[in-house]
Each structure stands twice: as C-alpha cells, then as structure tokens.
Chains A and B, each alone.
Chain A
Amino acid sequence: MKVVAGRAQDLDDLRDMRVRRDEVGFVQRYLDALSEKGTNQEQIDDAVDVLETLELHDHE
C-alpha cells in the first residue's frame, strides 16, 4: 500500500522497513494484478517508479 500511496512519508517508511528483494517481487505481482483489474495506469506507473528506486536488502 505504501508503494501505491507513494507520499514522502511512505517513502520514509519504506526506507525504514529495509525492504527485501522477495518483497519487491511480491509487490510487483500485486501491481500487475491491479493493472489487470483496471486500476489507473498512471497510478501503477507511479508505483513502479517508487518500487524501482527502493534500496533492497537481502538479509535482516
């Protein structure tokens, strides 16, 4: 949800969450599903922008 909302405070939260690669894969599949359900493509593209700029962490 934070990736889709994409506000500055969400970006702060995503940084603090130290997102893992497998979680990004999950969100990517979720975004694909949203797209198929007819969610606004501009919103999806925006979320992809956020997703692709996340610093990824392999281990916690």
Chain B
Amino acid sequence: MSKQLDNLIRQWTQIGAGFSAEPDGMTPDLERLLLDTARHAHEMARLFIMAATWLHRYGDLIAKHRLKRLIREELEPEYRPVLGLLLDIAQQRTHPLEFQSVLKVINPATHPRPLFSIEASNERLARRAQRKAGNISRRWNLWCSQIEFKFDAIRPAHWIMRRNSGLIIRGDLRGDLRASVLASLRFDPGAGTSEVSLAEASGGSRAQVRNALDNLELTGRVRRLPNQGEKKRRTVVELAGAKR
C-alpha cells in the first residue's frame, strides 16, 4: 500500500471507518479528506465503499460550501467525477438529497471507463465492469457495480465524537455555511485575516459570511477583532479560544 493511501486509511479510521489500521490521532480536515479519497479510491475499492457508507450516515458533518470551493480550486479535473459518483451514491435514500448542492458543480467523466484500476487494467475485466455497472455509475461514466453500504463496519456516532470533539459543532450546524466558516478558520491558512479572505476560503459570499459570523459570534464560537495596524481597517476573525 502506498504511503499516501496508508495515511488516508488512518484518517478514515480516526473518524470511525472500520479499517484494520491505527487511527491517525488527529481529526482530519474532512473536506480535504474527501478530495484525497477521490484521488486514491481507484486503487482500493474498499476505501470507496467505506467512504460512501460513512458519508451516507454522517454526511451532515461535511461543510458543503467549503467542499464546493475546494473541488473548484484544488481537485484535479480527472478526479472530480470520482468524487461526484461517491457523493451521489452516498446520498441515495437521504431526504433531502444530502450532497445535491455540491453535485451541481461536478460533471461526469468525459470518457466512460471502469472506476477501479483493477478493472481498468484488463480489457476483459473492463468489459465485465461495464456489463455489471449500476445506473448511478453509468450516469457518471465510471463503471462500478451497485455498492452495498457496510454499516456494520462504521463506528457509532458516540465513538466518533468522543475521539473527534471538533466534529460535534459540525453536527449541530448540519453542514451549513457556519460549518464552512469554522472549518476554514481551522484548516485554511490566512482565512481569518479578513472577512473577504474568509468568504473566499469558506465558499460563501461576503454578505453570507458576515451573516454567519454574526451568529457564530453570538454563540461565542468566533471573535471578530478590528485590525487597526494597517491603513485600511479590516476585521480579523479567529476561533474563540484561539491564542493570539
């Protein structure tokens, strides 16, 4: 297993996916974890299945605005359809569809092909993958047979939250823009240097982010501080409890 794939598995284990690996020890940046999963899922079918199962059960924890921004700015175009397929499979039987807003920014693969390398590596297996492909995978031009969720291989919520207390607030906010703002402040360097930077990093408009900040400040989750050290006055935003 490659080092990158190994690292990815450890991060998924940290948030409750049942791989036989040691947890990473730190709560991962969930949205970037999804990007990395899209990049490596073709190497390991089980990773794709576990990720789909986890997302089906805990999709509320994903900051959707930020995920859209990261897809547009950081995910290489060839991996976007893989993420699209993953999210589309994960949102089946969720009401409302959990990732529909994210899927609007992703297009299917240009040329139909097997999703997994093991099937793409052999013409006969590729034909077999095409023959057995499920409807959703055909829609994304990435052939794979219908995925069965592995709920028995995913840890319960209390296990996940006990080891990743930073995810509790995400659960409360159910992935709305406030979750994206908090995730950007935590994981995107420089995001809090101004409201404009924060809007760019979190994927919201400036007005939306200001509105989100009003609420987050009201509930004591962020602090807005005037930065008067420069000619042009701007507002610095930081997570409440962060050291200055």
Q: With A7-B145, A49-B128 known to touch, is A12 a contact of B122 (CB < 8 Å)?
A: no
A52 within 8 A of partner (CB): yes
Interface majority SS (helix, strand, loop, mixed), chain A: helix
Which of A6, A8, A9 gathers the greatest number of chain B CB atoms within 10 Å?
A8
Contact call A8/B124, Cβ cutoff below 8 A: no
Residues of B within 8 A of A52 (CB): 124
A11 within 8 A of partner (CB): yes
A23 within 8 A of partner (CB): no
Interface majority SS (helix, strand, loop, mixed), chain B: helix
Residues of A within 8 A of B128 (CB): 6, 46, 49-50
Other-chain contact of B45, A7, A46, A49 (Cβ < 8 Å): A7
Q: With A8-B119, A11-B118, A11-B119 known to touch, is A53 a contact of B45 (CB < 8 Å)?
A: no
Contact call B124/A15, Cβ cutoff below 8 A: no
Contact call A53/B46, Cβ cutoff below 8 A: no
Which B residues between 20 and 53 are near A, CB-CB below 8 angstroms?
A: 44-46, 49
Residues of A within 8 A of B46 (CB): 9, 12
Q: Please name the residue on chain B nearest to A11 by beta carbon.
A: B118
Q: Please name the residue on chain B nearest to A52 by beta carbon.
A: B124
B207 within 8 A of partner (CB): no
Other-chain contact of A12, B45, B124, B145 (Cβ < 8 Å): B45
Which of B46, B115, B116, B118 gathers the greatest number of chain A CB atoms within 10 Å?
B118
Q: Please name the residue on chain A nearest to B148 by beta carbon.
A: A7
Contact call A8/B122, Cβ cutoff below 8 A: no
B144 within 8 A of partner (CB): yes
Name A's B-contacting residues (CB within 8 A).
6-9, 11-12, 15, 46, 49-50, 52-53
Beyond the given pairs A11-B118, A49-B128, 5 more chain A to chain B contacts, judged by CB atoms under 8 angstroms and listed by A's residue number, are A7-B145, A9-B46, A11-B125, A12-B45, A49-B124
Name B's A-contacting residues (CB within 8 A).
44-46, 49, 115-116, 118-119, 122, 124-125, 128-129, 144-145
A–B Cβ pairs within 8 angstroms, 20 of them: A8-B45, A8-B116, A8-B119, A8-B144, A8-B145, A9-B49, A11-B116, A11-B118, A11-B119, A11-B125, A12-B45, A12-B46, A12-B116, A15-B118, A46-B128, A49-B124, A49-B128, A50-B128, A52-B124, A53-B122
